[in-house]
Structure 1
Amino acid sequence: MPPFLKLIKLDNLLIIAFAQLCIKYGLFEPFGVAITLSNFGIALLVIATISIAAAGNIIIAIYDNEDKNLLYKNINEKSANRLFILLNAIGVLIGFYLANIIGRPGFAALFILVSGIFYMYASYLKEIVFVKNLVIGLLAALSLIVVGVFDLLPAITEKNRESQTVIFSIILDYSVFAFTIITLREIVKDCLKIDRDHNLGLRTVPIVLGKERTIKLIGIAALIPIASVVYYIYSYLFANTQAVVFVLVLLVAPLIYFMIRSFTLESNKHIAILKLLLKIILIVASLSLLFYQFILT
């Protein structure tokens, strides 16, 4: 992967964009709910979101990297700072534009807030045990919620409030799931970077508790998303056999495998597999949004 794309973590940005588009075209369009953003508008929202996220990844890399003169091959700290400012400016300006065209100028503050959180994370919050993991999970959840905030909420009226609320509640459910999975994934990543973080003097969960104990605790914590998905199946999908099979095979089974495997890990290679598995689960969860039109109709 080219240095610039590695710096902004393109793969993670694509997952965010994909999830946002799945919300728009898997939930909003098929059910004909009242919306405020056109196709062009949602494209701008995606660009704004990934611009802010890319800028956040850059500032984190600047503060995390031991070699400030060279972050990724030919990218130095000065160039990275310029990219950080440019991408932030793009995201915030688009946010202001979108907030004004939907008649809610105050919504632009959300982009400024997220940008500020990324900076605080890189310069301060990442030094606080567990808080750093929660913050990244929260930012991931906000990247989904922002679609509902900009496209759904401004179109709510007394007449359509009930249907709009149902769709927005689905977005919130997925946001909570994303928050949980991303938080677990960030702790898994800390397990892989434990030696480097120790050398940098950082206090992460694996450094405080030990890598083996942390991985086992992550396995136990996997019960949370498993329980939430099973509850979701029981509450909303139980009447649709195909939907139940899809969720059990592609979400619950991988999570159970993740939980079991966390108690039998032998090397960093196996931890890396768990990290990849959580990413795949996020992609599958995003894909599931495209099937609601067949489940709820």
Structure 2
Amino acid sequence: MNYLKLIRPVNLLFIAMVQLFFKFGLFQPYSIDTVLNNLSFSLLIIATLCIAAGGYVINDIYDVNIDRINKPTKVIVGTKISEKNANRYYILLNVIGVGIGFFLANKIGKPGFAALFIGISALLYLYTSYLKSILLVGNLLISALVALSIIIVGIFDLVPGITDQNRESLSAVFRILIDYALFAFLLNFIREIVKDMQDINGDKNGGMNTLPIAIGRKRTILIVFILGVIALAAVIAYMYTFLYDRQWTVLYFLLCVVAPLLFFCVKAWTADSPKDYSRLSVLLKLIMLFGMGSILLHPFAH
């Protein structure tokens, strides 16, 4: 059970769900020319989850001292699992993830694609060991990797099957994929800053240079508010540009994405305690889930 807690099963489930949303909510209903059958797509999900899980493990190994301050009751490495076993667990997860990625890349005739999994694994290690202590760099990197967990579906399932005949339709679908990836990037970036506000005490002790440490909580929450407004404006612009003739989809976005984002902005404006920051973090997670869930509406859009 402790090994399961170490890899954040809820977060991994979210990643898997989003990838499945695109496969079965976007690609299949539109009869898009994909190259991965259900078994191969399942392997792609497993590879992604293994690399992500490895990232969580190495993060907990490096953050033991910080976590003892920020969340003392939830520290696993060094209390319930030895650091040596945690490192073995990290290596095993990465070997499985990269190994499956290598197998899939060769199966679709694009062996170079295996470098993606190696690169993501290396970036997660660099993030934990060095980059997360640099102002905003770690936040941007993790948010980019979250976006990449969406884009990688298109890279493996769409790109190898592109021909002159289907290029236009596949490009249109890939653009939708990119739009959702950008949405995930922005929301995750805001959430990373909110989490830094929650963890300010431990981060100070650990020598981190996060935004709240650099400019203070009051200025940081103002930036969070501004980013929330930008996200809200971007979603409304997207609706106006692409969804104006799809009544049910517009209604879903208004109720499940726009309204919660507006509520987030209101709450961010007045947030001034760790409990407030925790609620904002949970709210962003729900908004991201509802936003990604809108993919399932595409087959009923017309």
TM class, shorter-length: over 0.9
Letter in 2 for 1:258: F
Aligned to 2:95: 89
Q: For residues 214-245 of structure 1, give each alpha carbon's deviation from its aligned partner in whole angstroms, at most 9, with x where no partner exists.
A: 11210111122212111111111101121111
How far 1:70 moved relative to its partner?
5.8
Aligned to 1:247: 253
**Contact conserved, 2:18 with 2:150, CA < 8 A, in 1?**
yes
**Quick check: 1:180 aligned with 2:186?**
yes
Letter in 2 for 1:27: L
Aligned to 1:77: 83
Q: For residues 234-290 of structure 1, give each alpha carbon's deviation from its aligned partner in whole angstroms, at most 9, with x where no partner exists.
A: 111101121111101110111111111111124211111110001111111121111
After TM superposition, the structure 1 = structure 2 runs for residues 119-198 of structure 1, keeping only pairs within 5 Å, are: 119-198=125-204
TM-score (norm 1): 0.96
Letter in 1 for 2:42: A
**Contact conserved, 2:134 with 2:209, CA < 8 A, in 1?**
yes
How far 1:5 moved relative to its partner?
2.5
Aligned to 1:27: 26
What secondary structure, in the 3-state scheme, does the structure 1 residue paired with 2:269 have? coil
Deviates more, 1:259-268 or 1:203-212: 259-268
Seen in structure 2, the aligned counterparts of structure 1 residues 179 and 97 have a Cα distance that, compared at 3 Å, is same
Aligned residues: 295
Letter in 2 for 1:147: V
Aligned to 1:51: 50
Matched residues in 2 for 1:250 and 1:174: separation? Answer: 15
How far 1:116 moved relative to its partner?
0.5
What secondary structure, in the 3-state scheme, does the structure 2 residue paired with 1:31 have? coil
**Quick check: 1:99 aligned with 2:133?**
no
Matched residues in 2 for 1:129 and 1:3: separation? Answer: 32
Matched residues in 2 for 1:233 and 1:70: separation? Answer: 43
**Contact conserved, 1:19 with 1:144, CA < 8 A, in 2?**
yes
Runs of 5+ consecutive residues of structure 1 not aligned to the other structure: none
Letter in 1 for 2:32: V
Matched residues in 1 for 2:76 and 2:109: separation? Answer: 44
Runs of 5+ consecutive residues of structure 2 not aligned to the other structure: 69-74
Deviates more, 1:257-266 or 1:16-25: 257-266
Aligned to 2:71: none
**Quick check: 1:18 aligned with 2:17?**
yes
**Contact conserved, 1:7 with 1:72, CA < 8 A, in 2?**
no
Percent of matched pairs sharing the same residue: 47
Matched residues in 2 for 1:215 and 1:79: separation? Answer: 39
How far 1:72 moved relative to its partner?
6.3
What secondary structure, in the 3-state scheme, does the structure 2 residue paired with 1:263 have? helix
Letter in 2 for 1:88: N
**Contact conserved, 1:3 with 1:73, CA < 8 A, in 2?**
no
* Runs of 4+ deviating beyond 4 Å: 67-70
How far 1:213 moved relative to its partner?
1.9
Match of 2:268 among 262, 273, 290: 262
Matched residues in 1 for 2:162 and 2:230: separation? Answer: 32
**Contact conserved, 1:59 with 1:119, CA < 8 A, in 2?**
yes
RMSD value, Cα? 1.4
Match of 1:205 among 187, 190, 211: 211
Letter in 1 for 2:111: P
Q: For residues 149-176 of structure 1, give each alpha carbon's deviation from its aligned partner in whole angstroms, at most 9, with x where no partner exists.
A: 0001111100010000000000000001
Matched residues in 2 for 1:248 and 1:271: separation? Answer: 24
Matched residues in 1 for 2:226 and 2:4: separation? Answer: 34
Matched residues in 2 for 1:21 and 1:289: separation? Answer: 10
TM-score (norm 2): 0.95
